Every structure is written in structure tokens, then in C-alpha cells.
Amino acid sequence: MTRNDISPRRPAVMADVARLAGVSHQTVSRVLNEHPSVSPATRDRILAAIEQLDYRPNSAARALVTRRTRGIGVVSFTTTLFGPANTLYAIEQAARLAGYFVSVANVEDVDEDAIRHAVERLGSQFVEGIIAIAPQRVAVEALRHVPSDLPLVVVEGGDGGGHPVVCVDQVEGARLATRHLLDRKVGTVWHVAGPIDWLEAQGRVSGWRSELERAAITAPEVLRGDWTPASGYANGQLLAERGDVRAVFVANDQMALGVLRAFHERGLRIPDDVLVAGFDDSPDSAFFTPPLTTVRQNFDAVGRHGMELLLQRIDDPTQAATSAVVPPELVTRQSTLGSSWETSGR
């Protein structure tokens, strides 16, 4: 029973290529790995054989011997949200550029077991390292106890629980927005925050509060939302009822949408009666009614840095955990500007 026999033809292996090209398997391997010392003639012959047999190297075999898979894992929580989706995309892009592929593992419930399980699943899979998108405190805490020899980088996760971290400077972003509102002589600035467990929400509260303190203004009570437009709407109704609200900094654009809607329903005009600023610069926010001033997060940079840090760790797992902070950018639009129709951005 020889190789290229009847029926469901086995995919070609290196030995087949070698035989067809009249060389040893090792020379084929050299061509594949771009080893310099292979004569052009031999190389061409081998490439032709590869083409003819539609040969593709078996990466399991390669991984077995090299102990390198050129793959990284991404542990995430609901990658459908704006931030995580963009971060995941940026990571994939950066990984691809670095010659790595990306495996994803979403965690349904953010508890320690689930996270550990996800890491194990990826770890015993073919990845050399893991990037965790961990925007919640529980998530970071869980990662703290990941008993893994696997290089791990945390993205969007506060102190990272002992691992290297990459994140957008949430505090600074909130300060930018708050200061911008204060500059417009609004007295004080109200804040609709995100869920208490989210580190990003927490950072934005801090930034908002510290900027008010800097201006010697007592911070009003924080309103809590859950990132959804519905919760923004509910909080917007509360704010509208007060009658004394002149400026609101909302912790994300989706909730800001709800706030705008609530104000609109109560007959409050924006920006004439109330100024509203958001966070995220979602693609929609430039087309809200009115266009929304917001804070842009550079997810590409986050993905790139995350990948860089991870590659460093893979290279040398012993080195100290460094981190990267990506600066945010204020995008001013009509919701906080004069009543002119001018909009900035896109």
C-alpha cells in the first residue's frame, strides 16, 4: 500500500514533497523555514513539488517539536460591546502583523472558576500567551489567582492583578470632559456613571470628582447606570426633574443617548438648557440629536501595546511587568458648544 493510492487521498506530507522533488525531507524543511543555504535550483524544484501536491505543513507537528505555536489567546467578556469588540479587533490586527493567530474564549459569567477555566482551556490549547480583556473588577481579581505559567497581559483592567496592563487613561479622559464642561460656566457637573464593578466606570468617576475638586466644587451625588441607553434614559429623567441641572458628564455614549432622549422629552434643549458629554466616541455619537461631545479611546493603540507587551513576556517571562497607558482624546461637538450647528469630528 503506497501513499498516493486510491480514494480519500491523504493530504501530502513533507516526505511526499521530498520524494517528488528528489531530496531529503530535511531540505524541504529548510525551504519552508527559509534557511539560507539551499541552492536556488533545489528550492525551485521543491516549491514546484509543494505546489503540485498542494502541500501544507502540519502545524501540530511543527508545534510539537518547536514548542511554539504562533498563537495567542484572548479571554474576553461579551465582545459585542463597543469597547471590547474594538479591542479584540485591534488585538487580532496586531497579532496578525506579528505573525500570530488569535483564539478567543468568551466568559459568560464573570466568576473566578469560569475565568480560570477559560485560561486553562486556552492554555492547554495551542497558545503561547494570553491577553485578557478584563474591564470588571471581579475579572481582574480572578486573574490575580490564575496559577499559570502562561504569559498573560491584561487589557482595560486597572492594576491588572499583578500582570502587565494596557489601558486607556480613564481618569484623564473624565477630567478632560469635566474640565471642558466646567469651562463653559455651568456651575457644577453631574455624572451618570457605569456599573460600580467596572474599572472604567470607577476611573471615570475619579476623574470627574477630582476635576470638580480642583475647581473647589462639591461633587453632586453620582447616578448609576449599566451602560445601556435604557439606564441613561432613566437617569436622564431623574436629572430633568431636578430643574437645576446645567451639565452632565455621562460615562458612555449609549447612556448619553438615553439622557439626551429623556431631556428631549422633558422639553430641555441641548446645549441651550443643558450640556451633555459622553465617553467612547462611538460611530453614532456624531449623529445624535444633537451631536455628542465625547472622549475617544484609541483601541488600536491598546491592541498594539497589548500585543507588544505580550510578545516581550513570551520572549522573556522573567522580566518585570511593565504597563502602558494610552491617552484619551476629547472630541467636542454640539452637545456642549454654543447653539451653532457646527459639529467637529468626522
Partner DNA sequence: ATTGGTATTGGGAGCGCTCACAAGCATGCT
Partner DNA sequence: AGCATGCTTGTGAGCGCTCCCAATACCAAT
Site residues, a second copy (CB under 8 A): 11, 54, 56-61, 63-64, 69, 71, 78-80, 85-86, 88-89, 92-93, 96, 101-106, 108, 120-126, 147, 149, 228-230, 232-233, 254, 257-258, 260-261, 264-265, 283-284, 286-289, 341, 346
CB of 53 to DNA, least distance (A): 11
**Is the previous residue joined to 147 through a cis bond, with omega within 30 degrees of 0?**
no
Q: Decide if 135 contacts 155 (C-beta within 8 A).
A: no
- From the list DNA, a second copy, none, pick the one residue 41 interacts with, judged by a Cβ distance below 5 to 8 Å according to partner type: DNA
Q: Which three cell numbers stand for residue 273?
A: 438648557
Cα torsion 62, 65, 68, 72 to 10°: value is 70
| Residue 204 to residue 252: CA distance in whole angstroms | 10
Pick the binder of DNA from 19, 32, 298, 312 (CB under 7 A).
32
Choose among 173, 179, 114: nearest CA to 302.
Answer: 173
Positive or negative: CA dihedral 51, 54, 58, 59: positive
Binding mask 38-67 for DNA (x = CB under 7 A): xx-xx------------x-xx--xx-xxx-
- From the list DNA, a second copy, none, pick the one residue 24 interacts with, judged by a Cβ distance below 5 to 8 Å according to partner type: DNA
What is the helix (H) or strand (E) element at residue 310, kind and residue range? helix 299-315
- From the list a second copy, DNA, none, pick the one residue 320 interacts with, judged by a Cβ distance below 5 to 8 Å according to partner type: none
Quote the DSSP letter at residue 162: G
- From the list DNA, a second copy, none, pick the one residue 23 interacts with, judged by a Cβ distance below 5 to 8 Å according to partner type: DNA
For residues 57 and 220, which CB has a smaller minimum distance to a second copy in the complex? Answer: 57
- 267 sits near DNA (criterion: CB under 7 A): no
Pick the binder of DNA from 2, 7, 37, 80 (CB under 7 A).
37
**Is the previous residue joined to 290 through a cis bond, with omega within 30 degrees of 0?**
yes
Neighbours of 214 (CB within 10 A): 12
**What are the DSSP E strand ranges found in 60-161?**
71-76, 101-106, 129-133, 152-155
Positive or negative: CA dihedral 179, 201, 244, 239: positive
- From the list a second copy, DNA, none, pick the one residue 30 interacts with, judged by a Cβ distance below 5 to 8 Å according to partner type: DNA
- From the list DNA, a second copy, none, pick the one residue 121 interacts with, judged by a Cβ distance below 5 to 8 Å according to partner type: a second copy
CB of 330 to DNA, least distance (A): 49
For residues 132 and 171, which CB has a smaller minimum distance to a second copy in the complex? Answer: 132
- 96 sits near DNA (criterion: CB under 7 A): no
Q: Which residues bind DNA (CB under 7 A)?
A: 10, 13-15, 22-27, 29-30, 32-33, 36-39, 41-42, 55, 57-58, 61-62, 64-66
